[in-house]
Amino acid sequence: MARRWRCGSVTFTLDRTLVMGVLNVTPDSFSDGGMYEDPLDAIARGRQMVTQGADIVDIGGESTRPGAEEVPVAAEMARARPVAGGLARDLGVPVSIDTRHAEVAAGCLAVGACIINDVSGFRDQAMVEVAAASDAGVVVMHMLGEPRTMQAEPRYGDVVSEVKEYLARQAAVLEDAGVAPERIAIDPGIGFGKTLDHNLELLRRLPEFGELGYPVLVGVSRKSVIGAILDEPEPLRRVQGSIAAAAWCALNGADIVRVHDVRDTVNALRVLRAIEG
């Protein structure tokens, strides 16, 4: 049977790697902070990503970069909801809300978003309830601890087994609450409470995440793992490295890649597909 991911009224057939475009409407995201604070600019960028081939647009109103402080829910809502609503009306592809907060998720679903992307992996029961009460797709991501402190000496026995166990457990919590399995995607959370070696091992052993039976999403775009390999402190100069990483993910079982550079990534994946035949 074909593998699928159901997000509200849209069902993706996972016969190629999908591209989720990142749209951060924050002042402080690590690579695009401050670029799309004006909702009209954000909406224009969202539409542009779709013309460039994005399959999903993921809106974030809170930076979760290492060291980031939690943003008040009202502020996050004020940033994200107008953009979610403005885009969801006629974008032609699903709008995803990247949030750890149940109120923000519910507010954005109410205006048409149909994916909840939770970097804290649905640890909050209120978030599980919002998911269960909706028909949205969900992304369960692994993060060790929380953004403010997650990079303080992260430790694992076997990072892949531990991240997999966490994802399986959180997916089971969602299923028990009534979220249909075909709505759930999982994400190892590159850069969220992991050293460079942990991140590389997760990427190297990416196919193992497919064993859990859910679509696999990966976000490596412009992250410090790329910066560390290339000795490049400026996120905007990590584009080629990010595309190499996205191609690796696509060849190793990622169903969705979450990226800032939509056009370049879409083109790279088109070439891979042509070669694969």
| Cβ 266 to ligand HH2 shortest distance, Å | 18
Q: Which is nearer to ligand HH2, 91 or 260 (CB)?
A: 260
Q: Binding to ligand HH2 (CB under 6 A): which residues in 43-62?
A: 60
Residue 25 CA: distances (Å) to CA of 42, 233, 241, 256, 262: 7, 22, 24, 21, 17
Q: Binding to ligand HH2 (CB under 6 A): which residues in 83-142?
A: 98, 117, 119, 139, 141
The yes-or-no answer on residue 194 being catalytic is: no
Identity of residue 35: M
- Strands (DSSP E) contained in 137-246 are 137-141, 184-187, 217-218
C-beta of residue 124 within 8 angstroms of C-beta of residue 100: yes
| Cβ 97 to ligand HH2 shortest distance, Å | 11
The catalytically annotated residue of 79, 183, 223, 238 is: 223
The catalytically annotated residue of 6, 258, 263, 270 is: 258
- Which residue's C-beta sits nearest to ligand HH2? 219
C-beta of residue 264 within 8 angstroms of C-beta of residue 227: no
Task: Say how far apart CA 158 and CA 190 lie, in whole Å.
Answer: 15
Task: Say how far apart CA 15 and CA 4 lie, in whole Å.
Answer: 9
The yes-or-no answer on residue 258 being catalytic is: yes
| Cβ 190 to ligand HH2 shortest distance, Å | 5
The DSSP string of 30-96 is TTTTTTS-SHHHHHHHHHHHHHTT-SEEEEESS--STTPPPPPHHHHHHHHHHHHHHHHTT-SS-EE
**Site size with ligand HH2, rule: CB under 6 A:** 21
In the list 17, 29, 120, 199, the residue contacting ligand HH2 (rule: CB under 6 A) is 29
Binding flag, residue 30, ligand HH2 (CB under 6 A): yes
Q: Which stretch binds ligand HH2 (CB under 6 A): 29-37, 160-168, 241-249, 269-277?
A: 29-37
C-beta of residue 192 within 8 angstroms of C-beta of residue 151: no
In total, the chain counts a number of residues equal to: 277
| Cβ 139 to ligand HH2 shortest distance, Å | 5
Task: Say how far apart CA 28 and CA 64 lie, in whole Å.
Answer: 9
In the list 17, 31, 224, 242, the residue contacting ligand HH2 (rule: CB under 6 A) is 31
Q: Binding to ligand HH2 (CB under 6 A): which residues in 144-183?
A: none
Catalytically active residues, by annotation: 223, 258
What residues line the site for ligand HH2 (CB under 6 A)? 22, 24, 26, 29-31, 60, 63-65, 98, 117, 119, 139, 141, 187, 189-190, 217, 219, 258
